[in-house]
Structure 1
Amino acid sequence: MPVIDPNHTWTLLEERLAVTTDERHRVVLKAVIEHMKAEAAADLDRLMATLSPAPAYHFWYGGNDVGPKGTDGVRTYYSDFVASRSNVLEYTLDRLVLDDHCLVTEGFLKQIYPGTYAAQLGFPVDDESADYLIVHRQLLLWPVDGNGMIQGEDSYGTGPTSITKLSFEELPQQYIDLVHPSVG
């Protein structure tokens, strides 16, 4: 049975959208849901279409901002993300906070990494030919402009809370098709 289901990423947002009557809040929720779905589909053009003309990402690690800035920087970031084959993920949300200009999400980000890429990033893996589920606790701020476009992401994470070597049976089909097409 697969260890993650990418569709869970936007479940809490869709539940909130179903009961939200404030039109501006609906705009913010819809923008982030579309962004999440485009990311899951690895559709770069669709993903970039959710962003404002000058997006700025802030990924805070060890007190430093390492996020991409500007359209070209963000496009390169997402192109590299898809090329890494670590884009099969589930962001299981515990909480969301919403206002007219920002959505805040908090939960566990679960991603499957090819062992070689996990090792390249410095994660302690013992078999670079294996696949790993790496879980992080993450808080994301999603600022949304007056036109309903996402202005970037401000990400605060804990670092890995767990790293688990996966069996082939635990891999979702989307990941198998991406990383192990000759086996699937």
Structure 2
Amino acid sequence: MAILGNPNLDVRRTNRAIDELMEVTTNPRHRFMLEAYYRHRFLEIGGRYEEIFAPDMTVASPLYHFEVGGNSATLDGAEAVKGFYAAWAQTNQSIFYVEDEQIAVADNFIASVATMYQQTHGKTLAGNGIAVDDENAYYLMRVPGVQMFWPYDDQCRLIGEDVWEPRGAERTLTKLTASEVLTSEQAGKLLEPLIKPLRCFEEAMLQSA
């Protein structure tokens, strides 16, 4: 379900850089982290954020830092992060697409640099000081060079996220028609076949030993 004539603007293709890295990754710990990363991103896009906080995926008190849209924010603890995800899902702003993504994985973190697209409501943009011509419309916000750093603990559980937009001045907005807007529910249905259960960490490490 691509939009704007761009085949990359299909939520089912958002994790393709992870798939490509998995093809050449043999370290069992790194593979497990990439599986968790893949699952997290699709759960988020599909509005199934509650599942992200399963005890085998995320620590009890995650810490998120954002430097995006000219704003700085810190989300401290599961309830704060859940509230953030819930607001996105309920307003259909959990929809992300990526282009030109590069991903690196180490023993305790995953890093990504990509051109990011987010389906964003006009009122949200205006509230963040970004001018729009219609606060009741949805826009596709494109930002190149977005940097994400996701730390993981020794059991490959997400500790938090650090997200920056060092090239935020290059942000562009494309107003979407009603037929181009994807709801979180629609995204969830599209992604459901791609969201696989996470393997047991201990068993995965033993199987790969």
Q: Give the residue type in structure 1 aligned to 2:48.
A: D
In 1: Cα distance, 2:69 partner to 2:52 partner: 28
Q: Give the residue type in structure 1 aligned to 2:53.
A: M
| C-alpha distance after superposition, 1:44-89 (max 9, x if no partner) | 2212223111211111359985120111211122112223321111
The CA deviation at 1:37 is 1.1
The CA deviation at 1:166 is 2.3
Greater mean deviation of Cα atoms: 147-156 or 121-130? 121-130
Tell me what 2:136 maps to.
Answer: 129
| C-alpha distance after superposition, 1:20-41 (max 9, x if no partner) | 1110110111111111011011
The CA deviation at 1:108 is 1.2
Tell me what 1:2 maps to.
Answer: 3
- 1:167 partnered with 2:177: yes
- Aligned ranges 1:63-102 → 2 under 5 Å: 65-102=72-109
| C-alpha distance after superposition, 1:131-156 (max 9, x if no partner) | 21111231000111111211110111
- 1:119 partnered with 2:119: no
| C-alpha distance after superposition, 1:78-110 (max 9, x if no partner) | 112223321111133431121111110010110
1:146 is matched with which residue: 144, 149, 154? Answer: 154
Q: Please state whether the residue corresponding to 1:109 is helix, strand or coil.
A: strand
Percent same amino acid at aligned positions?
A: 26
In 2: Cα distance, 1:82 partner to 1:175 partner: 6
- 1:32 partnered with 2:37: yes
Q: Structure 1 pair 41/64, CA: closer, same or farther in 2 (3 Å)?
A: closer
CA contact (8 A) 1:93 1:107 kept: yes
In 2: Cα distance, 1:37 partner to 1:66 partner: 23
CA contact (8 A) 1:131 1:166 kept: yes
- Aligned ranges 1:33-48 → 2 under 5 Å: 33-48=38-53
The TM-score, its normalising length taken from structure 1, stands at: 0.84
CA RMSD of aligned residues (A): 2.4
CA contact (8 A) 1:9 1:93 kept: no
CA contact (8 A) 1:8 1:92 kept: no
In 2: Cα distance, 1:63 partner to 1:89 partner: 19
The TM-score, its normalising length taken from structure 2, stands at: 0.75
The CA deviation at 1:127 is 1.6
In 2: Cα distance, 1:120 partner to 1:18 partner: 42
Q: Structure 1 pair 115/64, CA: closer, same or farther in 2 (3 Å)?
A: closer
Q: Structure 1 pair 61/16, CA: closer, same or farther in 2 (3 Å)?
A: closer
Q: Structure 1 pair 10/172, CA: closer, same or farther in 2 (3 Å)?
A: same
Tell me what 1:156 maps to.
Answer: 164
CA contact (8 A) 2:46 2:184 kept: no
- 1:14 partnered with 2:19: yes
In 1: Cα distance, 2:38 partner to 2:86 partner: 20
